[in-house]
Amino acid sequence: MRISKRELEGRAEALGRRLSRCSLCPNGCAVDRWADGRGRCRSGASARVASFGPHFGEERVLVGSAGSGTIFFSGCNLVCLYCQNWTISQEREGTDVADEELAGILLSLQRAGCANANLVTPTPHAASIVRALVLAVEAGFERPIVWNCGGYESVEVLQVLDGIVDIYMPDLKYGNDDVGRQLSGIPDYVRRSQQALREMHRQVGDLVMDADGIARRGLLVRHLILPEGLAGTDRIVRFLAREISPDTYVNLMDQYRPCYRAAERPELRRRITPEEYAAAQTLARTAGLHRFRVARSPLGSVHWAGRTARWEATDVMKDEQRLEAIVHGDVQGVFFRHHTRLEATRLGLSGTVRNLADGTVEVIAEGPHAALERLLAWLHRGPEMARVERVDARWRDAKEASSGFVILR
């Protein structure tokens, strides 16, 4: 936080005024959210939170020893056909929270030792977030703020956030507006996202780490590789290298899997191939980028570091494992799968959960061993309405390094 408390209060008021004819994002719905008007994101005047807690599945530079303090906000200003978190983004699974409650969440993450406050899909809730920050800062909150968004941001709103946000972590989804229109329902994603990234970089510059390798300030861009080159990776990496900075830290993500309404598009009905992912890496290197995290290679999960194009296994990825668990007891019909998915997502794990015909629940999860241990401990308890009798667990080597967690029906 690089502004005074008084200035922060002024920024909160400025964002609050935008809710009267909502213009918190480029959709510009102009609904009065104070009067319960609902725009494209269907958010109200209060923030809505799906879950929060230490998250160990984020980029290594955000995690530290106690995790990234992640708050998953409900609702989204984009409608992506393939959204992995569609129950949160589109169905708005979650709970409305008052400013005081949100401030309490921020403070609880700090008390838990989290390296930062990682705000996931914060855009529709910018006004509530800054109001909550006023309260949290007054009570001693001082962690870096990570703005973890879809890249479709208003430059004017970003200017209000100048000095509040320490790390911008936008998705850069598409290099082609036709694709953005078809897959996310947005007519001008390329122009808007590029304007937003220029403003983000103007404010915070390239990503800077402290002596422990934890990000303190700067820009971290995520780009999800889609099948058939749909994401326009070539244009994305050229834009970043030429118009933002060749030192931009980029996470090239391989975790696309068909979810939500992906079946509506034939190209989206499969995962990407190793060849498609390798081609994306080559495009990034050829464009001149040299700080990027990649998720899959012939070596397994790797981190590409430095201008010497040296591939290194990351410490985080070396302990990736697979947990296969069968949960016995009164565990069906009590939202067990739903809560398992929330817990696994919070822990940054990938995998699946499903009901089996014999009345048990099968959970398969992959990720860092420590996070899997936490999930296993949680499975022994389950959600409030469940009665867990026992959990049969088997450990395996990880098969893949992805981060989505889905309910199989």
Tokens of 367: 């990720």
Please report how close the Cβ of residue 36 comes to ligand SF4 at its closest, in angstroms: 12
Nearer to ligand SF4, 34 or 335 (CB): 34
Nearer to ligand SF4, 22 or 158 (CB): 22
Nearer to ligand SF4, 24 or 284 (CB): 24
Nearer to ligand SF4, 125 or 296 (CB): 125
- Alpha-carbon distance 256 to 228, whole Å? 12
Nearer to ligand SF4, 17 or 269 (CB): 17
Where helices occur in 27-173 by DSSP H, the ranges are 60-63, 86-89, 99-111, 126-138, 155-161
- Alpha-carbon distance 183 to 262, whole Å? 9
- Alpha-carbon distance 19 to 25, whole Å? 11
Where helices occur in 30-176 by DSSP H, the ranges are 60-63, 86-89, 99-111, 126-138, 155-161
Q: Where are the beta strands (DSSP E) in 229-302?
A: 249-253, 291-294
The yes-or-no answer on residue 374 being catalytic is no
Nearer to ligand SF4, 43 or 84 (CB): 43
Using Cβ positions, the residue closest to ligand SF4 within the complex turns out to be 39
The residues that bridge with 334 in the sheet, in sequence order, are none
Catalytic site residue from 291, 337, 341, 346: 337
Nearer to ligand SF4, 40 or 341 (CB): 40
The yes-or-no answer on residue 355 being catalytic is yes
- Alpha-carbon distance 378 to 277, whole Å? 34
- Alpha-carbon distance 243 to 246, whole Å? 9
- Alpha-carbon distance 272 to 267, whole Å? 10
- Alpha-carbon distance 280 to 229, whole Å? 9
Catalytic site residue from 21, 38, 202, 355: 355
- Alpha-carbon distance 386 to 286, whole Å? 53
Distance, CA of 235 to chain centre:
22
With CA atoms as reference, report the closest residue to 51 among 97, 5, 111: 97
Please report how close the Cβ of residue 123 comes to ligand SF4 at its closest, in angstroms: 6
Q: Where are the beta strands (DSSP E) in 227-305?
A: 249-253, 291-294, 303-305
Please report how close the Cβ of residue 103 comes to ligand SF4 at its closest, in angstroms: 21
Tokens 């817990």, residue located: 343
Please report how close the Cβ of residue 26 comes to ligand SF4 at its closest, in angstroms: 7
Please report how close the Cβ of residue 25 comes to ligand SF4 at its closest, in angstroms: 3
DSSP state of 6: H
Please report how close the Cβ of residue 11 comes to ligand SF4 at its closest, in angstroms: 17
The residues that bridge with 97 in the sheet, in sequence order, are 47
Q: What is the radius of gyration, based on Cα positions, of the chain? A: 21
- Check: CB of residue 361 under 8 Å from CB of residue 382: no
C-beta neighbour count of 257 within 10 angstroms: 17
Return residues touching ligand SF4 (CB under 6 A): 22-25, 27-29, 31, 39-41, 43, 77, 124
Nearer to ligand SF4, 33 or 341 (CB): 33
Please report how close the Cβ of residue 152 comes to ligand SF4 at its closest, in angstroms: 9
Please report how close the Cβ of residue 128 comes to ligand SF4 at its closest, in angstroms: 11
Q: Which residues are catalytic?
A: 337, 355
